[in-house]
């Protein structure tokens, strides 16, 4: 925080008012008071710094950086460099942030907060070993720094040191039991280790980790004026209410892949409740109607949260259902298929395939990139289309794109279009995608929603899995207890896809796609 010292400077009173207004959240008043400071002393270093903090609080990062840089020109301090590092990190100017942090540490090597912020800027550049060194230094200076302990765990997790990550996450929670991000991260590590019963309670804080990037605000847990069902009996407590139906409202959360994976619990919930409602994203609506509502009329799909949630008796976020059912690694409900394509749509795609030359070629669908460019892990899980050229060169396989691009860079480039059937512009939702997949022999996919869809349909799936990947694929396994027909092919080195692709090519050359 900015500080002042006793001074005969007449601008002191104005600065004190500005500082008080800033600390009270009255940012416009702080700006007005600082204007008086600068009228008396244009080179008031702490005033310039505070003006930058005010601009940052008003979400004007460019102006904030300019004001703080002016403060540094007048008087370079480690505190000013720390503020500049934070502003530049929020603006995703990570190289500049690292430079600012190092300048500040040259002035004060023992500044724990600046060591931490340098670690964060390095972590966001994927310079994990360098970030780890900064977090270690932070913890040497301030052993009870829960956030540094949490981030150290995240770095170790990305390096696939799950035991080290677990230790740091546990210590972060011990230091600050309210550190819900560390609790969420601990839950994810325990799940990756297959310790489900221990993991689910921590996983209830998963919203703390749901954000587009580590430097952005987290999402909030959905709140409804209903008790959350966490398992057990829902039998009415009194004879007078014995005839009352018990209704469960299930809320969609996170990505489409999560809904596709955990929708298997909706029919299970219907064994406990007379009616199960699911707040269903529009792209999943037709698929879930075909797969669930047509078979179980008491599974009701809703377009949005009901205006009156109290019409329901209980609620549950979708990804809390595994905990409610006491799911262990050996009790995962892995029956497939539980998602089904519309037969009329399947027939329509079949006719299109029949009109192609060499219509009897085995067909493999392919997805090479995830569908959320802003998500911090999207780059790690995705390939660029040029990398799949060796696959498309296999002339005994008809490759069919299942890639829905959220930006143009994820579309197939011109060099690949000759070896790829791409009808995805005609695909409106997951019901269309499911019908297309029903006409394929195999799906090869990175870790994204289409892999879940195909596997839940009972289609063979070869998952191209990033190093230190998602918890649901566990570690050291090439199979999945969630999907009997899914095979996991994992990177052996971070960011290196060539071995994974060579593995796929070798198996495609030796293993028949059609049984």
Q: Does residue 348 sit in the same domain as residue 325?
A: no
- Determine the pLDDT at residue 234: 78
Residues 387 and 269 in one domain: no
Pairing state between β 398-401 and 442-446: unpaired
Q: Is residue 139 in a domain? A: yes
The reported pLDDT for the residue numbered 239 is: 46
Whether residue 463 contacts residue 451, with contact meaning beta carbons closer than 8 Å, is answered with yes
Do the Cβ atoms of 456 and 476 come closer than 8 Å? no
Question: Tens place of pLDDT for every residue, the chain, 515 residues?
Answer: 454 444 567 889 999 999 999 999 999 999 999 999 999 999 999 999 999 999 999 999 999 999 999 999 999 999 999 999 999 999 999 999 999 999 999 999 999 999 999 999 999 999 999 999 999 999 999 999 999 999 999 999 999 999 999 999 999 999 999 999 999 999 999 999 999 999 999 999 998 876 544 545 556 788 889 999 999 877 654 444 555 569 999 999 989 999 999 999 999 999 999 999 999 999 999 999 999 999 999 999 999 989 898 899 999 999 999 999 999 999 999 999 999 999 999 999 999 999 999 999 999 999 999 977 666 688 899 999 999 999 999 989 999 999 987 677 788 877 666 789 999 999 999 999 999 999 999 999 999 999 999 999 999 999 999 999 999 999 999 999 999 999 999 999 999 999 999 999 999 998 777 75
Same domain, 295 and 357: no
DSSP conformation letters of 36-58: HHHHH-TT-HHHHHHHHHHHHHT
Chain-centre distance for alpha carbon 456 = 21
Residue 515, pLDDT score:
54
Alpha carbon dihedral 460, 464, 468, 472, in 10-degree steps, equals: -30
Select from 308, 331, 354 the last residue of a domain: 331
Tokens representing 95? 């190289």
* Statement to judge: residues 302 and 354 lie in one domain: no
Clarify whether residues 151 and 181 are in a common domain.
yes
Alpha-carbon gap, residue 199 to 505, rounded angstroms: 37
Report how far residue 40's alpha carbon sits from residue 29's, in angstroms, rounded to the nearest whole number: 17
Single residue among 209, 232, 253 that ends a domain in this structure:
209
Residue 6 confidence (pLDDT): 42
pLDDT tens-digit map of 39-49: 999 999 999 99
Beta strand spans in 71-212 (E): none
The answer to whether residue 215 is domain-embedded is: no
On whether both 29 and 114 belong to a single domain, the answer is: yes
Reading the block at residue 164, the tokens are 């080290």
Task: Please indicate, yes or no, if residue 187 is contained in any of the structural domains.
Answer: yes
Q: Are residues 287 and 317 in the same domain?
A: yes
pLDDT tens-digit map of 371-411: 776 666 888 999 999 999 999 999 899 999 999 876 777 88
Domain extent, residue 406, equals 343-510
Claim to verify: residue 305 and residue 326 sit in the same structural domain: yes
Q: Is residue 426 part of a domain?
A: yes
Structural tokens at position 440:
């394929």
In a domain, 437, yes or no: yes
CB-based contact 123:214 (threshold 8 Å):
yes
Percentages helix, strand, coil for the chain, rounded to the nearest 5?
50, 10, 40
CATH number (domain holding residue 482): 3.40.50.2000
CATH, residue 69: 1.25.40.10
185, 209, 233 - which closes a domain: 209
- How many domains does the chain contain in total? 3
Shared domain check, 324 and 351: no
Domain assignment present for 304:
yes
Does residue 240 sit within a domain?
Answer: no
Same-domain pairing of 178 and 250: no
User: Looking at the domain assignment, is residue 2 inside a domain?
Assistant: no
- 41 and 103 housed in the same domain: yes
Helices (H), 299-404: 321-324, 343-354, 378-381, 389-392
Q: Are residues 103 and 167 in the same domain?
A: yes
């Amino acid at each position: 925080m900015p500080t002042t010292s006793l001074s005969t400077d007449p601008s002191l009173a104005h600065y004190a008012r500005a500082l008080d207004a800033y600390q009270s959240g009255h940012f416009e008043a702080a700006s007005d008071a600082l204007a008086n400071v600068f009228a008396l002393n244009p080179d008031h270093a702490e005033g310039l710094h505070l003006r930058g903090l005010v601009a940052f609080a008003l979400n004007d990062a460019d102006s904030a950086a300019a004001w703080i840089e002016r403060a540094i020109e007048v008087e370079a301090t480690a505190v000013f460099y720390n503020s500049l590092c934070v502003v530049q990190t929020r603006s995703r100017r990570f190289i500049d942030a690292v430079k600012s942090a190092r300048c500040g540490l040259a002035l004060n090597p023992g500044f724990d907060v600046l060591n931490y912020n340098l670690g964060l800027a390095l972590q966001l550049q994927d310079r994990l070993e360098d970030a780890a060194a900064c977090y270690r230094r932070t913890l040497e200076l301030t052993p009870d720094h829960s956030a540094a302990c949490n981030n150290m765990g995240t770095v170790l997790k990305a390096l696939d040191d799950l035991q080290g990550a677990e230790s740091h996450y546990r210590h972060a929670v011990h230091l600050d039991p309210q550190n819900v991000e560390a609790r969420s991260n601990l839950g994810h590590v325990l799940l990756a280790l297959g310790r489900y019963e221990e993991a689910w309670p921590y996983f209830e804080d998963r919203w703390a980790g749901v954000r587009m990037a580590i430097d952005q605000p987290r999402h909030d847990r959905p709140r409804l004026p209903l008790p959350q069902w966490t398992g057990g009996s829902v039998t009415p407590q009194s004879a007078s209410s014995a005839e009352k139906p018990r209704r469960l409202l299930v809320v969609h959360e996170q990505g489409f892949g999560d809904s596709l994976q955990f929708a298997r619990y909706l029919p299970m919930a219907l064994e406990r409740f007379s009616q199960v409602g699911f707040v269903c994203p529009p792209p999943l609506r037709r698929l879930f109607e075909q797969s669930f509502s047509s078979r179980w009329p008491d599974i009701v799909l809703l377009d949005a949260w009901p205006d009156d949630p109290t019409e329901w008796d209980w609620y549950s976020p979708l990804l809390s259902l595994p905990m409610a059912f006491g799911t262990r690694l050996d009790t995962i409900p892995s029956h497939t298929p539980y998602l089904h394509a519309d037969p009329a749509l399947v027939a329509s795609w079949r006719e299109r395939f029949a009109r192609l030359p060499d219509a009897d070629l085995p067909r493999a669908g392919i997805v090479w990139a995830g569908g959320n460019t802003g998500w911090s892990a999207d780059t790690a899980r995705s390939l660029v289309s040029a990398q799949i050229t060796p696959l498309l060169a296999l002339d005994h396989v008809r490759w069919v794109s299942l890639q829905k691009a959220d930006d143009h860079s994820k579309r197939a480039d011109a060099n690949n279009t000759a070896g790829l059937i791409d009808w995805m512009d005609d695909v409106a939702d997951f019901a269309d995608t499911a019908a297309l997949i029903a006409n394929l022999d195999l799906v090869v996919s990175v870790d994204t929603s289409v892999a879940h869809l195909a596997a839940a349909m009972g289609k063979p799936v070869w998952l191209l899995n990033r190093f230190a990947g998602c918890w649901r694929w566990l570690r050291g396994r090439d199979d999945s207890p969630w999907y009997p027909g899914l095979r996991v092919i994992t990177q052996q080195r971070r960011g290196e896809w060539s071995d994974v692709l060579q593995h796929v090519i070798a198996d495609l050359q030796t293993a028949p796609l059609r049984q």
